Amino acid sequence: MSNICIEVNNLSKRFLVLKGEKTFLRTLKAVFRRQPLKKEIWVLHDISFSIKKGEKLAIIGCNGCGKTTLLRILTGIYGKTFGYLKINVEPKALFKFWVGLNGELSVMDNIYLFGAVHGMDRHFLKENMDKILDMAELYELKYSSLKELSNGQMQRLALSVFFQTKSNFLIFDESLVFVDQAFANKCEKYFEDLAYSDKTVIMTSHNSSFLRKYCRTAIWLEEGRIRMSGEANHVIDKYEEQVKLYG
């Protein structure tokens, strides 16, 4: 059986973006003169790498370098434009924490809904309800409507549910941004366990000490291309040098 979770070869992704402000007149002109209203933007160019089972990979790079797009392709949300992509293990990804939560429902109902979005069934979530509510520190508010919670509380709830997933391949895209120190300490325990588990993990974050601590390998993306890949500390050092030099 293959030891590779995901294999990517010369993967590229193109988006079409508007050349200028879209007006009715410009749309008409574009139709009659057969001039395209949009231009191509290549978000990812010739990306090649593979992830072994159990690997802990960090993806670093400045905003807009293509990290989230790459992760969305790996999770099957976006299709690729060119290249080869083989996914042997389906990942479970946490992108924006609020996606899958519904303000009109109670905290408990949101646990079921958010859990289902991330592949967990009601029976499993019922069994782990106390654990989730304890971790999120929302036990007293379990029947309250989600809209009564602060953003921080919602994030704690979402992370506490997502941490229960049994998937062997996890993706975290800037998931710990905005988390307060007390909850960050709780998350440490989870990520420490994860770092020593046989699960495959991909993380993106602008917190380099966090990535150094839990990832063994890293890929540095720059303008949609792989600038460097290899041992996490080395790649992150080089990236930080670059950031210090050029901002």
Partner 1 sequence: MFLKQLKTRFSKLFIKSNRHLFRELVFAKFKITDHNSVLGILWNVIVPISMMAILYFVFRSTFEHQINAYPFYILIGLAVINFFTTATSHIIKLFSSNRELILNASISREIFILSDLTIPIYKFIIELIICLAFSIFYGFFSLRLILLIPLLFSYIAFVVGTGIILSLIYCFARDIEHIWFILCRIFLFVTPIFYKLEKLPHLMHKIIYIFNPLVPFLISFREIFIREDGINIINYSYALLFGGFFFILGYLIFIFLENVAMEKA
Binding residues for partner 1, per CB under 8 A? 15-16, 72, 75-79, 90-91, 93, 95-96, 98-100, 102, 104-105, 109, 112-113, 115-122
Judged by CB, which is closer to partner 1: 123, or 244? Answer: 123
Q: Half-sphere exposure of residue 35, counting CA atoms within 13 Å on the CB side?
A: 11
For the bound state, the minimum distance from the C-beta of residue 122 to partner 1, rounded and expressed in Å, comes to 7
The residues, any chain, with a CB within 8 Å of residue 22's CB and separated by 6 or more, are 37
Judged by CB, which is closer to partner 1: 133, or 235? Answer: 133
CA dist 140 to 24, 62, 108, 113, 134, Å?
Answer: 53, 40, 11, 19, 10
For the bound state, the minimum distance from the C-beta of residue 107 to partner 1, rounded and expressed in Å, comes to 13
Neighbours of 99 (CB within 10 A): 10
The residues, any chain, with a CB within 8 Å of residue 1's CB and separated by 6 or more, are none
User: Is residue 188 classed exposed, middle or buried when 0-12, 13-18 and 19+ CB atoms within 10 A define those classes?
Assistant: middle
Judged by CB, which is closer to partner 1: 22, or 213? Answer: 22
Grouping H, G, I as helix, E, B as strand and the rest as coil, residue 106 is strand
Are residues 199 and 170 in contact, defined by beta-carbon separation less than 8 angstroms?
yes
Judged by CB, which is closer to partner 1: 61, or 91? Answer: 91
Judged by CB, which is closer to partner 1: 160, or 217? Answer: 160
Judged by CB, which is closer to partner 1: 202, or 226? Answer: 202
For the bound state, the minimum distance from the C-beta of residue 72 to partner 1, rounded and expressed in Å, comes to 7
Cα(21)–Cα(178) distance, integer angstroms: 34
For the bound state, the minimum distance from the C-beta of residue 118 to partner 1, rounded and expressed in Å, comes to 7
For the bound state, the minimum distance from the C-beta of residue 102 to partner 1, rounded and expressed in Å, comes to 6
For the bound state, the minimum distance from the C-beta of residue 130 to partner 1, rounded and expressed in Å, comes to 20
